[in-house]
Structure 1
């Protein structure tokens, strides 16, 4: 035991994170009669959605694929709910299932004690002991900043996409967006609509798909087709539909990979970009596609193709990384070394050894997180009933 800490033994699992994934698994546990405790470092739920997302953000997939278990979105919500609508939905979700996280509790460390057969989680001067630990901190805990020569000497405004809210403050400015995933594309479009002069860095080949095909979600169509046809045929259909609806993207400087979008997603985790109007802006010349950045200068950029250009501002839409390795001592997991990002690891497979689970960390989005939440809750509930319940505490319903 660590000295100076208050030791708290929990009846059920401890959940780290009160975002969509944490709320989803909490609701699934609640439905099965398993008590739980959620620790959340911020003072509210869905902190990443509130603090690190841009104002114009909408769900990339239709609401039926993004709803959490056991509670659909309100019928009056549009097919693609806004950021604020999603946050409101999460607030209603927590209230409906009586989910009350312990806010302001940042986990400093977690390790598995083989002698006790329990997880030890340290947060805010307390050590929580539990049989099950559920990691639900998401993929987007830490902004990823690339190592580019001269990054620190650029004299203009530079901000990571996690700090971008809207394009109003960039009106009339020359802005370079580094990163061409869904966030980079949507931020570029938002900047353009707010009167900025936008250049978008496209480093690699990528698939851009229409968000909708004949009024239906391309994702929904793909899910349906995969039940009937092999993946390669579904990929062929998506690429053909994209060419018919969007045209040849290579003509505007965005080449497609040889492998299909679903194949790439399954093998590399790289998500295809869903077009919500950006391509039309590129074709009209309102948004300029540029090559990879070689280095930054005090007032602009030198590109790999030798071109140089001045910019007032730079938006780094370069993604995020998980913070799990900073507090979870994964050496305690057999075969899992600290910092191991192997896709075959427990982080990608929902369940690990010694009663640890991960929800919403494998890059499968809300759709995958909800599925994993149900699986994890079912697995824990089986153990809970098979191994027997701990006696309830008169002081704290979470504590045995």
Structure 2
């Protein structure tokens, strides 16, 4: 049984570790870069997929560490990208994962062949075949650009290319989007720019990193025994106590529950707004040259626009007509892993949790290890369940492209654990 994994970021690493731990030996992981770590390998080049120079985690170390490899005691509640990369490197050394990884090898093409097997064309000019293919290439590599991009004659860049605030000195900057990337870009830009505005089309929950002295995710974890409606109510009350009303920050009030959209975790944005360093603006109506017209009838001129408008799900190694979810609002996979049309193809980390992705990728990998060693089996109707699950998750969140792979962290983790234990899932 030969298994190939694409990508040696957080999801690929835990996949290797858990498959090997299950007793599977013929594992090879292809990583196109010269080291492990995926997006957590910082590079200054704007075209590379990496964190920015000042990135810190938005989930706490307590809720992000792998189950059998705790983060160092001296790590802060929210580690830096340098510390997270060092953690992944230590994880790989401790579990001796390097022997399974081929660095500087990209998978140029993956095609399905007879008997549900796969043929991979590699960047070193060779080909390889495998019985099972695990996709762990991440989903923050291909930026989603807005249609008005071509109308702006100033400097335009996507948040993907924003690595530092150098070059923004004395500039008028507009950040479009108030997700996690958007708020990070706005905060960093405000340290250098003459003025920073932040445009948002719809309301968004922006949540501080600490609630009642605890990291936000550990506080949320303490509420899991309560019914969802009560959890939502308590989260709203705690937010009201901590930050007041969003309109106090010139932000629109959300008219939905905190769990219906992917949250933004950021404490600094509130301080910057109240100190006049960042100015919220409504959505964009149109752009002419360097003038941006907003939906409230106002307009302003900008030197730079930073578009924090999300990413497309991309599998550059598949033919476009094979699997293409770039613009999908719903992705149908059983347990967010198993494709109903390809029983030997597994996706690791292809989800957007309201929590840390790595711990879910770890559980996904344990499940696959159990499955391939025949300790468990999928239900006979898993293909039908994949379609039903896609519809179920889509119904849980506001219909936006960013929510096509969204999951509720704890209910999803419970599903995985039940399956790992050999229990049926619904």
Q: TM-score, normalised by structure 2?
A: 0.79
Match of 2:74 in 1: 76
Q: 1:84 and 1:174 mapped to 2: Cα distance?
A: 30
Aligned partner (choices 268, 275, 295) of residue 277 of structure 1: 268
Q: 1:45 and 1:365 mapped to 2: Cα distance?
A: 25
Query: Does the CA contact (< 8 Å) of 1:28 and 1:69 recur in 2?
Result: no
In the alignment, structure 2 segments of 5+ residues that lack a partner are: 44-49, 377-426
Question: Which secondary structure does the structure 1 equivalent of 2:137 belong to?
Answer: coil
Cα 1:94–1:345, aligned 2, differ >3 Å: closer, same or farther? same
Q: 1:340 and 1:200 mapped to 2: Cα distance?
A: 25
Q: 1:99 and 1:242 mapped to 2: Cα distance?
A: 42
Residue pairs, 1:202-281, within 5 angstroms = 202-226=200-224, 228-262=225-259, 264=260, 270-281=261-272
Give the paired residue count. Answer: 363
Match of 2:308 in 1: 317
Aligned partner (choices 17, 20, 30) of residue 20 of structure 2: 30
**CA offsets per residue over residues 285-337 of structure 1, 9 Å max, x none?**
2211111122222223122222221111111111112212x3335977xxx77
Most deviating of 193-202 and 236-245: 193-202
Cα 1:193–1:331, aligned 2, differ >3 Å: closer, same or farther? closer
Match of 2:52 in 1: 54
In the alignment, structure 1 segments of 5+ residues that lack a partner are: 1-10, 265-269, 388-400
- The Cα shift of 1:191 comes to 1.6
RMSD: 2.4
Match of 2:106 in 1: 106
Most deviating of 162-171 and 56-65: 162-171
- The Cα shift of 1:339 comes to 5.7
Aligned partner (choices 286, 292, 295) of residue 286 of structure 2: 295
Q: 2:155 and 2:349 mapped to 1: Cα distance?
A: 32
Match of 1:357 in 2: 346
Match of 1:384 in 2: 373
Match of 1:391 in 2: none
Query: Does the CA contact (< 8 Å) of 1:192 and 1:198 recur in 2?
Result: yes
Query: Does the CA contact (< 8 Å) of 2:203 and 2:254 recur in 1?
Result: yes
Kindly indicate whether structure 1 or structure 2 has the higher relative contact order, using CA contacts under 8 Å at least 6 residues apart.
1
Most deviating of 77-86 and 122-131: 122-131
**CA offsets per residue over residues 35-60 of structure 1, 9 Å max, x none?**
21111122222242224321111000
- The Cα shift of 1:183 comes to 1.1
Q: 1:120 and 1:173 mapped to 2: Cα distance?
A: 50
List, as ranges, runs of 4+ consecutive aligned residues in structure 1 with deviation greater than 6 Å.
Answer: none
Query: Does the CA contact (< 8 Å) of 1:209 and 1:275 recur in 2?
Result: yes
Q: TM-score, normalised by structure 1?
A: 0.83
Question: Which secondary structure does the structure 1 equivalent of 2:167 belong to?
Answer: helix
Q: 2:284 and 2:326 mapped to 1: Cα distance?
A: 28
Query: Does the CA contact (< 8 Å) of 1:46 and 1:90 recur in 2?
Result: yes
Aligned partner (choices 346, 353, 356) of residue 333 of structure 2: 346
Match of 1:131 in 2: 131
Match of 2:140 in 1: 140
